[in-house]
Amino acid sequence: MSSTIDSLPPNLAKIVQRFQRASEPKRRYEQLIWYGQRLKAFPESDKVPENKVAGCVSQVYITAALEDGKVIFQGDSDSQLTKGLVGLLVEGLNGLTPSEIVQLTPDFIQETGLNVSLTPSRANGFYNIFKTMQKQALESSVNV
C-alpha cells in the first residue's frame, strides 16, 4: 500500500501536513526536534538490547505495548534529530492496530520533505526505526 496523504492514518497525515507547511529545511529540523521533545521520559530499565534499534548510528530504543487492541509505543534516542524521528513515528503510529501499522509503507517520509534534508545514515536510521516498530507491533499482537 503506497502512502499518499489520503491513505495515511489521521495522526500521520497531520504530521505530514505540518512538515509540508514548513518549506525551509531549517523549519523542518525545528519541527523534528519539537517531536523529540514531546516524547515521554523513556525508562532506563527499558534501555536493554532487545529494545535497541539495529542499524542506527545513534542509540535508539523502542518499546511497544498493546492496549485494547491498539499499539502504544515509547521511544528514545541519544541524538536530538533521531529522537525527533522517533517522536514523529511514535506520535504518528500510536493508537493504531498492529495490522494498520504493518500495512503502512515508510514512503510517507517523502511527503514530509524530510528525506531531502536527512543524511543517508539518518534516512537509513528512519527506515530501521520504522521497521522495528512494525516488527514490535506484530509481536505485541502475538504476545497477548
Strands (E), the chain: 60-67, 70-77
Distance CA 73, CA 21 (A): 26
Residue tagged active-site, from 8, 39, 56, 88: 56
In the annotation, is 11 catalytic? no
What are 100's three cell numbers?
494498520
Residues 91, 83: contact at Cβ < 8 Å? Answer: no
Residue entry with cell 502512502:
3
Active site residue ranges: 56
